[in-house]
Amino acid sequence: MTNIDDQYRIITNRAGWIDRTELGRLQFDGKDRHSFLQALVSNEVEALLANHGVYATYLTPQGRMIADLRIYNRGDRLLAVVAPGVATALAARLDQLIFAEDVTVRDVSADIAQLTVIGATAEGVLERAFTVDADSLAPLAQLAARDVVIARADEADVPMFDVFVPSAGREEALAAIQGAGAEPVGPALVDLLRIEAGRPAFGVDMTAETIPLEAGLQDRAISTSKGCYVGQEVIIRVLHRGGGRVVKRLVTLVFAPAAKAPAAAGTAITADGRDIGALTSAAWSPRRERVVGLGYVHRDHAEAGRHVHAGGHDVEITGLAR
């Protein structure tokens, strides 16, 4: 595998591919699958059209995160992609909530392979590999080509597509992708791209203690007009009575040029000699020629252009995570 600078050049000028086996995949079947999830997650599922997707969170009654999900309407079923290590326990938890509903939930992580194609020429790679027009896809929208389903990802600010295929067809799909010009890249690049885009990852920047409003998920993952879902009371109380104010906010960070290596997750973020938060993710960005990161800071400091310190370096807050 080439280094991060070389991988960044690949996706800037051409396209790369990566295996996303580590992600979990759940399948929901049965005529009540939409209404079942509608009552549980924070975004609209019942109104989700075929070949479209939605990003949502599943919360505790206290408004803390259990999981985040990218839910795809595949017409006769729903497919949800979740963070690494989450699928098995989440499927069991959801199964326990099924009573009279006509719905089943299965962990299909081993049955469905997931590849990601990233970069400036990603659309062309997919067109050559599968004879599809991926350029027209909106975020999380999908199209199918035989057994292959292609969805535009929402994790980065560069063209990025997820390719879902039955595990038995993985090698054939991968050969087509590589034959169309995509080169292998690694998980560190995907991590960097999401940090640059201000996208938090569950299990890294979000945990079981996180309220989604703290992580900047309001516009992307939370419907303020849908009916009841688990944890809604807390979210609505913060939004309506508290004006959306939470104690801490996840922000995007750019380190001073003197910082040549990413600081570790958990590194304290300070201002005026006081701890105001902590770093959750960091990576070297060839585009910026700086270390970039995500971290939580007290809401009074969550302002673009403000300077703080982390790992002995000056750090600029450039915005809020999203």
* Average pLDDT across the chain, whole number: 97
pLDDT at residue 242 above 90?
no
If asked whether residues 187 and 304 sit together in one domain, one would say no
If asked whether residues 178 and 49 sit together in one domain, one would say yes
Residue 281 is part of a domain; what is its CATH number? 3.30.1360.120
Domain boundary among 194, 209, 228: 194
If asked whether residues 235 and 185 sit together in one domain, one would say no
Domain boundary among 194, 209, 233: 194
Domain boundary among 194, 224, 252: 194
Number of domains in the chain: 2
If asked whether residues 139 and 32 sit together in one domain, one would say yes
If asked whether residues 22 and 39 sit together in one domain, one would say yes
If asked whether residues 166 and 228 sit together in one domain, one would say no
If asked whether residues 128 and 256 sit together in one domain, one would say no
pLDDT at residue 40 above 80?
yes
Provide the pLDDT for residue 241.
80
Provide the pLDDT for residue 244.
83
Mean pLDDT of 105-132: 98
If asked whether residues 208 and 245 sit together in one domain, one would say yes
CA end-to-end distance (rounded Å), the chain:
30
Q: b/e map of 49-80 (b: 16 or more CB within 10 Å)?
A: eebbbbbbbbbeeebbbbbbbbbbbbeeebbb
If asked whether residues 151 and 71 sit together in one domain, one would say yes
pLDDT at residue 248 above 60?
yes
If asked whether residues 89 and 182 sit together in one domain, one would say yes
Enclosing domain of residue 138: 4-194
175 band by pLDDT with thresholds 50, 70 and 90: very high
pLDDT at residue 196 above 60?
yes
pLDDT at residue 243 above 90?
no
Mean pLDDT of 261-279: 97
Provide the pLDDT for residue 1.
55
If asked whether residues 125 and 208 sit together in one domain, one would say no
Q: Percent of the chain beyond pLDDT 90?
A: 97
Provide the pLDDT for residue 2.
73
If asked whether residues 190 and 210 sit together in one domain, one would say no
